[in-house]
């Protein structure tokens, strides 16, 4: 059986699933085209959907002759149908796709998602039909399921004002979707600390402070936790809240979070490969009022 792995840098557990399938002696296939080419395919097929969905679809379309594809589940926000049911919605919109299998992508059991090992066992039986091999493979890859030890990133860089950059991991960890944001911030005199670089456990513990946290979807709790964690640091002087272009549910969730921030806030809807960002200069002036305008910096 040939199983596709999207190899997204946004996936927290891609090493786990790759190692697991290797232990099961299952042949894995990766996208044959670059991320830019995959994104272009997704944009042609679903031109009006979020950029994150377009990229995921494009990667699926570039897989060569696979029987199934493992799709990391994104944590959803309120009203977020794509994150809740990506593997069900895509085949309804695009005919001829291989079997899509949703798999957990969270290290932390406190994230509210399905049990990783239970799902892995089901997937293993589905692709290998060998219970003994599945038990052995699960034991070998178990260490890869643990949350890695990640320290809080540096909160400052000489000559730049620090701002938090908060958005879905499926957006901010994908260079093809958001890679132009960090250079644009630096050109405006800002140093961005991105939410995907934060320790997940710390973020989710901070999210427990959210009102009625138990009733809030995991994705919205994660976004709130990251924004709250970073905005509480004295070095952080502003917050950038970024949603994928076309993703109204995430934009609405970030608007709700923006209303709770006490620092200068900039809301962005990122187009793929965008390099110019409206409102950034005015935001930078609020964050760092003593700095010279970018064009006047010697």
- Residue 147: pLDDT band (50, 70, 90) is confident
What's the pLDDT score for residue 194? 97
- If you search the block for the tokens 């970030």, which residue do you land on? 254
What's the pLDDT score for residue 296? 39
What value does the mean pLDDT of the chain take? 93
Please determine, for residue 97, whether its predicted confidence score (pLDDT) is greater than 90: yes
What's the pLDDT score for residue 73? 94
- The closest alpha carbon to 50, from 92, 22, 82, belongs to 82
What's the pLDDT score for residue 211? 87
Percent of all residues in the chain with a pLDDT value above 90, rounded to a whole number: 88
Please determine, for residue 111, whether its predicted confidence score (pLDDT) is greater than 90: no
Query: How many other C-beta atoms can be found within 10 angstroms of the C-beta atom of residue 259?
Result: 8
For 8-25, the pLDDT digits (tens) are: 999 999 999 999 999 999
Please determine, for residue 184, whether its predicted confidence score (pLDDT) is greater than 90: yes
Average pLDDT, stretch 266-288? 95
- The closest alpha carbon to 165, from 148, 151, 178, 149, belongs to 178
Classify 31 as helix, strand or coil: coil
- Phi first, then psi: give them for residue 21, nearest 5 degrees: -65, -35
**Model confidence pTM above 0.75:** yes
- Residue 295: pLDDT band (50, 70, 90) is very low
What's the pLDDT score for residue 76? 94
Average pLDDT, stretch 93-112? 82
149 versus 173: which is more confidently predicted? 173
What's the pLDDT score for residue 292? 53
DSSP at 186: H
For 198-215, the pLDDT digits (tens) are: 999 999 999 999 988 889
Please determine, for residue 297, whether its predicted confidence score (pLDDT) is greater than 50: no
């Amino acid at each position: 059986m040939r199983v596709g792995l999207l190899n997204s840098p946004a996936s927290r557990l891609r090493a786990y699933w790759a190692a697991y399938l290797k232990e099961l002696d299952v042949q894995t296939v990766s996208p044959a085209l670059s991320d830019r080419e995959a994104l272009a395919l997704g944009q042609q097929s679903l031109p009006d959907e979020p950029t994150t969905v377009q990229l995921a679809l494009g990667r699926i379309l570039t897989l060569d002759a696979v029987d199934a594809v493992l799709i990391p589940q994104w944590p959803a926000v309120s009203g977020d149908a794509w994150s809740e049911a990506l593997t069900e919605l895509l085949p309804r919109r695009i005919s001829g796709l291989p079997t899509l299998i949703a798999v957990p992508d969270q290290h932390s059991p406190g994230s509210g998602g399905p049990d990783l090992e239970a799902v892995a066992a089901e997937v293993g039986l589905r692709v290998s039909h060998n219970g003994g091999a599945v038990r052995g493979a699960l034991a070998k890859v178990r260490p890869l399921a643990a949350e890695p030890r990640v320290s809080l990133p540096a909160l400052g860089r000489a000559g730049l004002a620090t701002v938090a950059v908060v958005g879905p991991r499926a957006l901010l960890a994908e260079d093809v979707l958001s890679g132009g944001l960090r250079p644009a911030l630096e050109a405006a005199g800002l140093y961005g600390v991105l939410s995907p670089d934060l320790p997940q456990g710390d973020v989710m513990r901070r999210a427990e402070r959210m009102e009625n946290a138990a009733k809030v979807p995991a994705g919205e709790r994660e976004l709130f936790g990251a924004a709250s964690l970073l905005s509480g640091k004295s070095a952080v002087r502003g917050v950038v809240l970024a949603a994928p272009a076309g993703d109204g549910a995430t934009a609405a969730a970030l608007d709700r979070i923006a209303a709770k921030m006490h620092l200068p806030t900039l809301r962005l809807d990122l187009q793929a490969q965008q390099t110019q960002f409206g409102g950034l200069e005015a935001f930078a002036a609020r964050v760092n009022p003593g700095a010279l305008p970018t064009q006047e910096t010697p």
